[in-house]
Amino acid sequence: MTNTIGHWIDGAHRASRSGRTAPVYNPATGAQSAELSLADAAEIEEALASAQRGFEVWSRLSMAKRQTVMFAFRELLNARKKELAAIITAEHGKVLSDAMGEILRGQEVVELATGFPHLIKGAFSENASTGIDVYSIKQPLGVVGIISPFNFPAMVPMWFFPVAIAAGNSVVLKPSEKDPSAALWMAELWKEAGLPDGVFTVLQGDKEAVDGLLTDPRVQSISFVGSTPIAQYIYETASKHGKRVQALGGAKNHMLVLPDADLDLVADQAVNAGYGAAGERCMAVSVVLAVEPVADELIAKISERIANLRIGNGAGVDGVEPDMGPLITAQHRDKVAGYVDIAEADGAKIVVDGRDFRVDGHEDGFFFGPTLIDELPTTSRAYQEEIFGPVLQVIRVESFQEGVDLINSGQFGNGTAIFTNDGGAARRFQHEIQVGMIGINVPIPVPVAYHSFGGWKASLFGDAKAYGVHGFDFFTREKAITSRWLDPATHGGINLGFPQN
């Protein structure tokens, strides 16, 4: 210990003088790896002033020049992504191949954004009325704020900033306090790619920095991803201050398994989607809804697979990578354990119990073993709330409809999946389910970059999803222009009536 992590302002690292800090850990060892500076009012002001200047420069550059920078960023990211993966694993804990997976899903959005001229071009209607043309243009908003969660320190910011920057905005990114270094690495990459100073700013901090972004009149929009209570706060506060807001919240994703499904395929996918990244994914499957009579067989198959999972330091030991790493902090591990305690107290059967899990040689790491729960009453808080850990719950239902009704009764609507060979049932599921992203025999249906990502209900506040066409609409403002070039033949003289066709 310990280096101090600061901001990225005006195209350079910027040490903080706020005197307020938060610890950053390596979750696999439990050791503190750094001290993070938390921005104060002066640093927030400095970041926003620089971002405003950056916007004035960047938004005036031609699309061709902006596109050159986008392509350069993509090339650098593609060439050097291993460095970023190592940073993610060291602060988040996820295994290296999973860190690489998150980068690739972010890189997809960078690649989409390189084609931005096509996505921000307006429309033209010639001769809408005699001698009159109507057309639209899309312009950047200005300084935009991004506030990201700990669980995808590279991908979630990349859901937004490639689109925002390509469209001509400047970005102030406030990363999670728990894994702040990925953002700084990406800032250095932007600099190398030729982005003008002030167009990409990293403001490290906590609620004070967030509130600065939510209330400052220079910030035109807020893109937030995190837990539902904070998403709601962000949505309400930023809206009250006149900003566009997209605030993505928490989740409780169900996988509905019909009796005709291939149970070996289902068990593999439930384990991958339930325990990958130690369950710290907003699209993780946390509930397997088994339409009877398959629950007992499925539980046996999932248990067998859990017994073979390797849990350890995500960076690997002697070149061998485990399947699953630790949780983000000791407090979060205790919270996850608390939910398993609640489930047990409410009458559930803990089929596989990860509460006392230890990894040899990493006794102080924040590990929690894969956990499988059966017979959990749906009235339990352990069922109704998001746990965000490697805890799979099997809930037994008697019919397709009972499963659909249970999913639709929940507060969240982020992702869901159905496993079946019955096309009619799958089609009915996609029509009736009140969830934003649906997998048909696909457990984690994160849409590709040219579609858009976002849930329903308490999983998304606001009406714009991330990336894709939604992203470009969110980060631009449209103007509609009605134009007539006067000539004596068509000019109608004085007429105070409302313009008509």
CB atoms inside a 10 Å sphere around CB 192: 12
Determine the residue type at 398.
E
Q: How far apart are CA 36 and CA 75, in angstroms?
A: 29
CB of 226 to ligand NAD, least distance (A): 3
> Parallel, antiparallel, or unpaired for β 200-202 and 170-174?
parallel
**Best CA proximity match to 27, nearest among 489, 384, 422, 368:** 368
* 282 flagged as catalytic: yes
Which one of 282, 324, 418, 458 is the catalytic residue? Answer: 282
CB atoms inside a 10 Å sphere around CB 28: 25
The helix/strand/coil state of 22 is: strand
Taking the least distance from each CB to ligand NAD, the nearer of 350 and 458 is 458
To 5 degrees, how large is the angle CA 308–CA 311–CA 316? 120
Tokens of 410: 């929940």
CB of 131 to ligand NAD, least distance (A): 49
CB of 298 to ligand NAD, least distance (A): 25
CB of 252 to ligand NAD, least distance (A): 9
> How many whole angstroms from its chain centre is CA 182?
15
Q: How far apart are CA 309 and CA 322, in angstroms?
A: 8
Phi, psi (5° rounding) for residue 432?
-90, -20
Phi, psi (5° rounding) for residue 112?
-60, -45
Q: How far apart are CA 452 and CA 468, in angstroms?
A: 5
Q: Are 24 and 35 in contact (CB under 8 A)?
A: yes
CB of 114 to ligand NAD, least distance (A): 23
Instruction: Give, in order, the Cα–Cα distances in Å from 56 to each of 141, 164, 237, 262.
Output: 11, 14, 26, 57
Instruction: Tell me which residues touch ligand NAD (CB under 6 A).
Output: 147-152, 156, 174, 176-177, 206-207, 210, 225-227, 230, 248-251, 282, 386, 388, 414, 455, 459
Taking the least distance from each CB to ligand NAD, the nearer of 400 and 412 is 412
Taking the least distance from each CB to ligand NAD, the nearer of 211 and 364 is 211
CB of 224 to ligand NAD, least distance (A): 7
Can you give the three-state secondary structure of 153-186, one letter per residue?
CCHHHHHHHHHHHHCCCEEEEECCCCCCHHHHHH
Q: State the residue number with the nearest CB to ligand NAD.
A: 226
Taking the least distance from each CB to ligand NAD, the nearer of 73 and 150 is 150
Residues forming a β-bridge with 135: 124, 481
CB of 186 to ligand NAD, least distance (A): 16
Taking the least distance from each CB to ligand NAD, the nearer of 168 and 212 is 212
Q: Are 344 and 350 in contact (CB under 8 A)?
A: yes
Instruction: List strands edge to edge, sheet with 132-140.
Output: 124-129, 132-140, 476-484
Q: Are 234 and 266 in contact (CB under 8 A)?
A: no
| Residue listed under structure tokens 């002033």 | 49
CB of 259 to ligand NAD, least distance (A): 30
Tally the residues of the chain.
501
CB of 373 to ligand NAD, least distance (A): 19
Taking the least distance from each CB to ligand NAD, the nearer of 84 and 156 is 156
Taking the least distance from each CB to ligand NAD, the nearer of 225 and 270 is 225
- Residues whose CB is less than 8 angstroms from the CB of residue 272 and which lie 6 or more positions away in sequence, other chains included: 443, 444
CB of 228 to ligand NAD, least distance (A): 6
Instruction: Give, in order, the Cα–Cα distances in Å from 286 to each of 95, 341, 384, 415, 443.
Output: 20, 16, 11, 11, 11
If you ran DSSP here, which 8-state letter would residue 453 be given?
Answer: B
Q: How far apart are CA 465 and CA 468, in angstroms?
A: 8
Q: How far apart are CA 253 and CA 430, in angstroms?
A: 15
Q: How far apart are CA 241 and CA 302, in angstroms?
A: 49
Taking the least distance from each CB to ligand NAD, the nearer of 143 and 230 is 230
Taking the least distance from each CB to ligand NAD, the nearer of 158 and 258 is 158
Taking the least distance from each CB to ligand NAD, the nearer of 22 and 49 is 22
Catalytic site positions: 282
